[in-house]
Amino acid sequence: MGDHDQDLAGRLRQAGIARGDLVGLAVAPGRTTAPVGTVAVAVSSDAGWIVTADEVAAADASLRPRWVTWSGETAARLCGCGVRLATSWDIAAVHRLLFGGWLAGPGLAWAAIHGLAADGVPAHDPGTLFAGMPSPDEEPVGPDGYLRAEWAEGGWADSESRLVRWACVALGMAREQEAALGKTALGKTAEPGAGVRLATARSESTAELLCAELAADGLPVDLEVAGRLLTEIIGPRPRNADEATRIRAERDGLVLRHAPGGATADLRSPVQVRALLRSAGIDVPDTRAWRLEQYAKVHPIVAALLEWRKAERVATTYGYSWLDACVGPDGRLRGAWTGSDGAAGRMTASAGLHNMPAVLRQAVIAEDGHVFVRADLGQIEPRVLAAVSGDRALIAATEADDLYLPVAGELGVDRPTAKVAMIAAMYGQTTGYGGQAATRMKAAYPVAMGYLDDADRQARAGHDLRTYGGRLVRMSSGDGEGVPGGESRARVVGRGRYGRNAVIQGAAAELFKMWAVTVRARGAALDARVVLCLHDELLVHVPERAAGAAVRLVGDCLAETARRWVPGPTRFLAEITTVKCWADAKPTARTGQPADTVS
């Protein structure tokens, strides 16, 4: 074929675009398929074209530029028309990294990168709604320097020329964000390098692509097994409302039959449960499970109540209505995914994907001809602490498969004490462990403990923090800041703990996501698909015949990620197992032959 100059990859090459270079992308909403006119690409601030989604896919396969997207929504739209990009620069994801917080729309991201006040971002005047949407000015940037509301709020999709312009704006934004990442400096301890921040920006961006795929593909669930489990725990699926009421009353009866003198109570009301327990001679300040457990042998109603709680939990949150709402007829459990949420930028998921009761994992079963490769990072938080603080002694301890053994030796305490002391340092726990262990911890690992103490101090003072990968953790937006006398001590202490933990949990999340997107990229050749991300655990759905290769690949990806992420010799390891069912993973790893590990 002599017509290669006509395809998109050829045109991009002609414009000087090479593998990994930024290319602006804008995808109009509202179509499940993408004919000409719904996608625009941009190669400079004033040059771009309308193309088809298929052309983008083909150019991605042959040239693989880094596509600039406005947000995960762009990835979801492309996913919807069957296009899965290899890599991206996601403006919203990088905005969250650079500036913290959750809001990251085009108008705000534009203002932030240009140093304009967030409260000056223009919004549509609600009064104009009656007159219809004003047609967007052909110039996206207003005289005040902000993005015009008409553009930021969707007016860019109104015509092909505006769509192209929007892709051009995206490209410009990405370049400015890239430059800003190279300059950002904040914090005194172990100031992360620009290289790490750029690498983090790229993996956080590509994680948005992964999130769109996780949402679209879902987690394999065997509906028959799920139904059987539910029947065992909460009884058969009720056929009507009366039956549902009867089954519910029967469950309540198993507790209330132990009530003295036929007393009754609404078991869903903590106040009434407390009164019920008092009538049985048990006086407790609250009715949490860990507190009631001490009374399990005092009165039979306590054990019955705790049992009821477990069943009630499944019935209300993970019952038949959950299956109906979240599991498709294709046996895939689907939820909404976010790439960086909360205090430290962890991934989050809805539909119970991140907090499914362990017993229900028995229903998470690989499809015919497939298996799961399950990989679990071991002792990730103390290892991340060693890496980001650069503490030589703690880095040396990461050489051990069980990091707490050398730490215990160093402190002159037993392993459980060493573990509690380490976790206390990272989370800010102040009760329940000997102060002597903390003193020795400071002496043995002064750099690591100093890193945590510094985060704690900065957070207490209301100063923003930045993680190793460059994520801004906002401490200044909370109320009560800067009013030393007007703030309770508990509040300040709590904020210190928050900051102390955020720099560790956040850095761990960044490492994890870099690992996840590496597995996503390398695994494609094996038809291995990441189907679940769980903070320190990856579940990869893979054809049976490729299982062995996938196990090695997941381990290699961790080694590659660790090398790229941290310059020092910190050792990270993962327990990697091949299983048919998610629930099989833990026992195999604990009691079976040594799992594949990687350093």
Partner DNA sequence: TGCGGCTATTG
Partner DNA sequence: CACAATAGCCGCAG
Q: Which residues bind DNA (CB under 7 A)?
A: 266, 268-272, 286-290, 292, 306, 309-310, 313, 316-317, 335, 341-344, 346, 348-352, 354-358, 420, 423-424, 427-432, 494, 497-498, 501-502, 505, 534-537
Distances (CA, A) of 150 to 115, 128, 162, 502: 21, 12, 11, 37
Structure tokens at 533: 């991300």
- Decide whether 494 or 543 has the Cβ nearer to DNA: 494
Buried b (16+ CB within 10 A) or exposed e, 387-425: bbbbbeebbebbeeeebbebbbebbebeeebbbbbbebb
Indicate the residue among 10 and 352 with the shorter CB distance to DNA.
352
| Tokens found for residue 134 | 């004003």
Q: State which residue, 29 or 270, has the beta carbon closest to DNA.
A: 270
User: Smaller CB distance to DNA: residue 62 or 350?
Assistant: 350
Pick 31 or 258: Cβ nearer DNA: 258
Helix axes of 194-217 and 547-565: crossing angle, nearest 10 degrees: 150
At residue 59's C-alpha, the angle toward residues 57 and 63, to 5°, is 130
Q: What Å distances lie between residue 463 and 98, 481, 488, CA to CA?
A: 15, 9, 17
Find out whether 398 and 448 touch, Cβ atoms under 8 Å: no
Give the three-class secondary structure for 400: coil
348 φ, ψ (degrees, to nearest 5): -130, 160
- Give min distance, CB of 379 to DNA, in A: 12
Report d(CA 473, CA 483) in Å as an integer: 20
DSSP symbols for 349-410: E-TTTTT--GGGGGG-BPPTTEEEEEEEESSHHHHHHHHHHT-HHHHHHTTSSSTHHHHHHH
Which of 189, 272 has the CB closer to DNA?
272
Shortest Å distance, C-beta 275 to DNA: 10
**How near is the Cβ of 526 to DNA at its closest, in Å?**
24
Instruction: Specify which residues 22 forms β-bridges with.
Output: 66
How far is Cα 498 from Cα 538, in angstroms, rounded to an integer?
A: 26
Rounded to a whole number of angstroms, the minimum distance from the CB of residue 510 to DNA is: 15
Q: Please, which residue, 29 or 416, has the CB nearer to DNA?
A: 416
Q: Which is nearest to 313 in space by CA: 389, 233, 220?
A: 233
Region for 469 from its dihedrals, namely left if φ exceeds 0, alpha if ψ lies in -120 to 50, beta otherwise: alpha
C-beta of 126 vs 432, nearer to DNA = 432
Q: How far is the CB of 392 from DNA (least distance, A)?
A: 25
CB of 146 to DNA, least distance (A): 28
First to last CA, the chain: 47
Residue 540: CB minimum distance to DNA, A: 16
Query: Closer to DNA at the Cβ: 28 or 473?
Result: 473
Q: Which two tokens stand for residue 236?
A: 């058969």
Shortest distance (Å) from residue 198 CB to DNA:
25
CB of 409 to DNA, least distance (A): 21
Minimum gap (Å) between residue 382 Cβ and DNA: 12
Least distance to DNA, CB of residue 285, Å: 9
d(CA 88, CA 98): 17
In angstroms, give the least distance from the CB of 503 to DNA.
Answer: 11
Distance from CA of residue 156 to its chain's centroid?
30
- Number of Cβ within a 10 Å radius of residue 250: 10
Task: Look at residues 222, 465, 438, 473 and name the one whose alpha carbon lies nearest to residue 323.
Answer: 222
Residue 494: CB minimum distance to DNA, A: 5
Query: Shortest Cβ distance from residue 287 to DNA (Å)?
Result: 3
Token pair listed for 491: 């509040």
**Integer Cα distance of 260 and 279 in angstroms:** 7
Residue 142: CB atoms within 10 A of its CB come to 14
- 3-state DSSP call for residue 8? helix
DSSP for residue 365: B
For residue 97, give the nearest of 475, 471, 508 by alpha carbon.
Answer: 471
* Cβ nearer to DNA, comparing 142 with 335: 335
Of 141 and 284, CB closest to DNA: 284
Q: Which residue, 116 or 247, is less far from DNA as judged by CB?
A: 247
Give 11 or 495: the residue with its C-beta nearer to DNA. 495
Which residues partner with 5 through β-bridges?
none
Q: Please say which residue, 400 or 493, places its beta carbon nearer to DNA.
A: 493
- Report which secondary-structure segment, H or E, holds 542: strand 537-543
